[in-house]
Amino acid sequence: MVKTGLVRAIDEGKLKGLRVGAICNPTSVDAKLRHLADLLHQAEGVKLAALFGPEHGVRGDVQYLEEVHGTVDPRTGVPEHSLYGQDFASLTPRDEHLQSLDALVFDIQDVGSRYYTYLATMGLCMQAAERNGLRFVVLDRPNPIGGASVEGGVVHEGFESFVGLWPIAARHGLTAGECALLLKGEFGIDCDLDVIEMDGWLRDMLFDQTGLPWILPSPNMPTLDTALVYPGLCLLEGTNLSEGRGTTRPFELFGAPWLDGQKLADALEAEQLPGVRFRPCAFNPTWDKHRGKRCQGAQIHITDRRALEAVRLGVACIVHARAQDPAKFAWRTEKYEFVETIPAIDLLAGSEAFRRGVEAGKSVTQLCDAWDAECDAFVRTRSTYLLY
């Protein structure tokens, strides 16, 4: 079984003598399902003084794009401060909440994709730690979709947002600790960083090989298969296609009321994408896009987790859904992750090039090949910071 940074920190007394603020959520547990907050509250020589909740909150019950409110943790009596409010400034800890601390401790399970906001929260908290002279401790956890594969483009200058604050690939192949080292080494976040490494994790491991319990990292991330397709299917958030929110299989189901599911599944099958098959289906979202309307689309069935190219999969889903009726397909225009002036798809893809390419009728291969050079450059950069 993999031993996470949390277990090592507690067993080896690595936080002893510190007054800490913990950045955590429901995934912050050990193999016995004991939560970080409880373990730190009980740990000898450690003072747990504050909890900080990222998107979805400390307890993980808040839906995406919804404001998280501060409160008091009922088990420990420790104040909970929100790191996801009504504006971009709310994503960073307030200085007055850090004044009495010696260290910030980050222990959240990421899912291996740049769009997933927890590592952006980590980077902003690292900046706050630097500004306030605090130690920043990352209790490392596995990348659940493996640390070997890297896919997709990076964020270009001018397209930064909470789904991409730094030029990191869509599927980055990093652990949180490795990402913290990269942020410090490449992007000038010069905090007093300490990464508590895991024992027993190998880069090619998927989460179900670690022996650790799967805890939903967020309300719409129910399974490992969800995480595996997410680096591609999250791109659908930038469109008027339902990415399956409001169903029991988010990101594995997708569609829209105007689609022909059989035609869509056939077109996707013809792409011969590795590691997946497609089944035409219908679903009725209980909330979010097309709430209460019957959607036609496809269900993604993973046949080979290691062969899967998630970003290519997401690109194919957009290309072939749009091809059925370009007039009914649309890019999302509402404010997305606190940004109003740039389309959501450009924030997710990292620039306007992907959107322009889709509109020009480029093929799935052409669209994906356009990211190769920047992806390769990122792979070279990240190699300096790999711990495992």
pLDDT tens by residue, 280-326: 999 999 999 999 999 999 999 999 999 999 999 999 999 999 999 99
- Looking at the chain, the domain(s) classified CATH 3.90.1150.140 span 224-371
**Segments of the chain scoring below 50 in pLDDT:** none
pLDDT at 62: 66
Where do you find CATH 3.40.50.12170 in the chain? 5-216
Question: Is 224-371 assigned to CATH 3.90.1150.140?
Answer: yes
Q: Locate 243 and state its tokens.
A: 């990415």
> Model-level pTM?
0.96
CA distance 177 to 182: 9
For residue range 362-374, list pLDDT tens digits in order: 999 999 999 999 9
**Residue 51: strand pairing partners:** 22, 80
On whether the 5-216 domain is CATH 3.40.50.720, my answer is no
Half-sphere exposure of 65 (CA within 13 A, CB side): 10
**What pLDDT is recorded for position 385?**
98
pLDDT tens string 204-216: 999 999 999 999 9
Count of C-beta atoms within a 10 Å radius of residue 302: 17
Count Cβ neighbours within 10 Å for each residue of 85-122 and write b for 16 or more, e otherwise. eeeeeebebeeebbeebebbbbbbbbbbbbbbbbbbbb
Give the per-residue pLDDT at 67: 77
Which residues contact residue 85 at a Cβ distance below 8 angstroms, ignoring those fewer than 6 apart?
A: 67, 68, 91
Closest among 385, 387, 375, 380 to 183, alpha carbons compared: 385
